[in-house]
Copies of this chain bind each other. A is one copy, B any other.
Amino acid sequence: MSLIVAKFGGTSVASPERIQMVAKRLVAMKEAGNQVVAVVSAMGKTTDELVGLARAISKNPPKREMDRLLSTGEQVSMTLLAMAIEVLGHKSMSFSGRQAGIQTSDEHSKAKIELVHADRIKQALDAGCIPVVAGFQGIDKNGDITTLGRGGSDTTAVAVAYGIGADVCEIYSDVDGVYTADPRVAPRARKLDAISYEDMLELSSAGSGVLQSRAVEFARKYKVVIHSRSAFSESEGTYVKEADSSMENAVISGIAHDTSEVKITIRDVPDSTGIAARVFSALANNSVNVDMIIQNISEDGRTDITFTCPEADLENAEEATKAVIETIGARDYVVDNNIAKVSVVGTGMKSSPGVSAKAFTALADANVNILLISTSPIRLSVVVAADQVELAVRALHTAFGLDSDKVFEETMLSAEELEAKKNKGR
């Protein structure tokens, strides 16, 4: 018998019918002798719809109100799931972030979980219930509802798992685990049985959408074992846990890619002290999450500064860039939407020289043009043209010996599941 936290995302609870499927799955886990706590996201597109309502009223809604508004999404799905469990003859109770004792900082829209007072959840478990907890939300010291930012439900699940001392935090989604690359892009990608927290963290940050990086960070800090698996099949997925001898001894764990960033180049910038500081302070002050930065070699005392940021931040970035160009006396700026970031990730990189050389050679052989480069101790990222992203991922996947003998479509997913993935949009 295990104590399990099972988190289901928005796609898994998008309709009453899907909620009933999730309920069946939870009941089966319980009837197999486990104790189960469910954590849910909002149904399907609910969060987007609520954001739309707020935007119709205010360009810049107060964050306290926005958090309260968005938190209703999970409060709807959790009650419906609890109802569906009761229909199957098992006791259930839903818990909002407040009722589940999720205490957070007071940074609305991006609050951090500080404590989990899991007493009520434990009591419900002891009473034979399947508790259902609202993901994505908590309560601050003023008693106001906070949200953890998009994807925060994964973090809720990990925090609840820590709070109740669960054996495992199962995160169900429409993919059946963590792959060496996105199988839609690299058909020879392999599912990993296990991956270390460190590698998973880099993959998540580099664009692998399977798990939220903050959830992985929380899990690493509190040693919570995550099991990333499919909501639509019974097969084992990927365990995310501390590195141990059972894990594959590969230098590289996987190749991630991210097409959601844009590249901005500020041209003809005077190359003097403090200019970069002024540029990136202006961007930070306008809430732009700058990712990669490069500065060209100076020529006649002028240079170009290039950076990438999420496409969602583009409006803010342009605003800040326009203002700063005037004050520093640069010529102009150019936006490039058609880029993709491809990252090679692996803890083994630290002790294995030559990864960069191998990567650049593979890309050159595939005729992929590198626009930007950035590195960390366990990650190498390059920016390429968007239409070269598949070429780049496949070349790197092959070069680092990650290719499976089997081609993905034939083995891993049904046609229906593939279709569902495509419809998901990313």
Binding site for B on A (CB under 8 A): 16, 19-20, 50, 53-54, 56-58, 61-62, 64-66, 68-69, 71-72, 75-76, 78-80, 82-84, 86-87, 92-94, 96, 99, 143-144
Contacts and interface: CB of A to CB of B under 8 A. Distances in A.
A425 B66 CA distance: 33
Contact of A83 (B19, B62, B87, B93): B62
A93 B108 CA distance: 14
A298 to B, nearest CB: 47
A85 to B, nearest CB: 10
Nearest to A23: B57
Given A68-B94, A72-B75, A75-B69, A19 B57 contact: yes
Contacts of A94: 65, 68
A72 B54 CA distance: 15
Contact of A80 (B57, B75, B86): B57
**Residue among A53, A54, A56, A83 facing the most chain B CB atoms (10 A cut-off):** A83
Contacts of A75: 68-69, 71-72, 75
A86 B72 contact: no
A54 to B, nearest CB: 6
Contacts of A61: 83, 86
Each complex incorporates copies of this chain amounting to 2
Nearest to A145: B96
A188 to B, nearest CB: 42
Contact of A76 (B58, B69, B144): B69
A96 B79 contact: no
Contacts of A65: 79-80, 82-83, 86, 92-94
A142 to B, nearest CB: 9
Nearest to A87: B58
Given A93-B64, A94-B65, A143-B99, A57 B72 contact: no
Contact of A72 (B19, B20, B76, B92): B76
**Residue among A65, A80, A84 facing the most chain B CB atoms (10 A cut-off):** A65
13 contacts: A16-B53, A16-B56, A57-B83, A58-B86, A58-B87, A61-B83, A64-B93, A65-B80, A65-B93, A65-B94, A66-B83, A69-B79, A69-B80
**Residue among A20, A57, A64, A68 facing the most chain B CB atoms (10 A cut-off):** A57
Contacts of A58: 83-84, 86-87
A79 B72 CA distance: 11
A54 B80 contact: yes
A184 to B, nearest CB: 32
